Amino acid sequence: MSTSSENKYTSVWQGYKNQICRSLIKSDKQQMVQLNKENFTQVGNRKSYTFNLEYKNGTVNNNIGGSAVARDLDKIISKNEEIKNILRRGNYKINLDNKFILHIRKLNPEHPYHKDEKIKSGELPLIKKNKKTNSKPEIVDSEKEMNNPIYGLEAIVNDKTKILILGTFPTTKSIKEGFYYQNQIKRFWGQALSSVTNLENMSNEQRRKSLLEKEIGLWDIFECVERDNNNNKDSSIKKAKYNDISGLLNKYHAIKYLIFNSANAFNWLNEDIIDFFYKKKLKTKKLQSSSGGNAHFNYGKDWDDYFREIL
């Protein structure tokens, strides 16, 4: 290990140890600590500072060898008896997202959700990830870190929107035509949304109008990406910048439901930007992706069942 990375961030973490300790005490519910980005960038020059740090009965339970930021936090923790005593009481997860928010929560293997939340399959982020989910692309803060960035579409949303459907990133055809799911006319517009209204044979402008009338919005988790040419698969995305989903939710307060039309979108956000998963008035649901590459798509049955439940 290079000595240049040794203890580089320990002084930074030293300044946050009291906040971390207080957050761990209250971590039966999700805790978030906003860190100062400059504290880290002044002592290091990394493309990404994000990490996941897991403790099981006081001991690190995952590989953090590749993150000097996480290693230095663990050094501060290992020297603080009060924090160590808390961590010995169970399983905890500490992760830093790309907006320098430190997320802290206690994991209860027997009941990993909030006590006041109703457990339903596919709701809330603390469910096991799909083993077939693609490896996450490198997450960047600016398109300047990409070669030939490709930009996605604007959100379809207004002040009355109650349901927001999130995908990963639009296909080349959708970007060219300026509208969502142009490769999935039958699967998405005809089957997934069949219980909403008959959208398959409408024009894109009619679809937009109809969705907003039904208080449904569309967007993707990524604002822009660097990906292989003529390849629309999530696995072709090399670098990506997130959309400001939290900002959109704060602006449009009527949104009560997030539906994920992508296992990757659901799982990647669970790793990096999990704060909105824990908003008490917001329900999240992962449904079968309408992508043509998803062999498990059930002709929109789970979509139909869920829409009948919430509409």
> How is 221-280 classified by DSSP, letter by letter?
SEEEEEE-TT--SGGGEEEEEE--HHHHHHH-TT--EEEES-HHHHHHHHHH--GGGG-T
Find all residues with CB under 8 Å of 173, minimum gap 6, and list them. Answer: 182, 183
| The pLDDT of residue 278 | 64
| The pLDDT of residue 97 | 92
Q: Specify which residues 92 forms β-bridges with.
A: 55, 106
Copy the structure tokens of residue 226: 């660097």
Rounded CA-CA distance 285/268 in Å is: 14
Copy the structure tokens of residue 112: 């990993």
Q: What is the CA radius of gyration of the chain?
A: 21
| The pLDDT of residue 96 | 95
Residue 14's φ and ψ, nearest 5 degrees, are -55, -35
- Other CB atoms within a 10 A radius of the CB of residue 200 amount to 15
Domains observed in the chain:
3-107 (no CATH), 138-310 (3.40.470.10)
| The pLDDT of residue 85 | 86
Q: Specify which residues 104 forms β-bridges with.
A: 31, 94
CB burial readout 19-33, b (16+ within 10 A) else e = ebeebbeebeebbeb
| The pLDDT of residue 46 | 86
Crossing angle for the helix pair 68-78 and 17-25, nearest 10 degrees? Answer: 80
| Residue ranges in the chain modelled with pLDDT below 70 | 1-5, 108-134, 274-280
Pairing type for strands 59-60 and 138-139 reads unpaired
The tally of CA atoms less than 13 A away on the side-chain side of residue 18 is 1
| First-residue to last-residue Cα distance in the chain | 55
| The pLDDT of residue 27 | 86
CA distances (Å), origin 108, targets 31, 90, 147, 151, 284 = 15, 8, 42, 40, 20
- The three-state secondary structure class of 3 is helix
Rounded CA-CA distance 213/217 in Å is: 10
Alpha helices in the chain (DSSP H): 10-14, 17-25, 37-41, 68-78, 81-87, 172-177, 204-213, 245-251, 263-272, 301-310
CB burial readout 137-148, b (16+ within 10 A) else e = bebbeebeebee
| The pLDDT of residue 22 | 87
User: How many residues appear in the chain?
Assistant: 311
Over the stretch 152-211, which tens digit does the pLDDT of each residue have? Answer: 999 999 999 999 999 999 999 999 999 999 999 999 999 999 998 889 999 999 999 999
| The pLDDT of residue 273 | 73
Copy the structure tokens of residue 42: 């002044």
| The pLDDT of residue 132 | 45
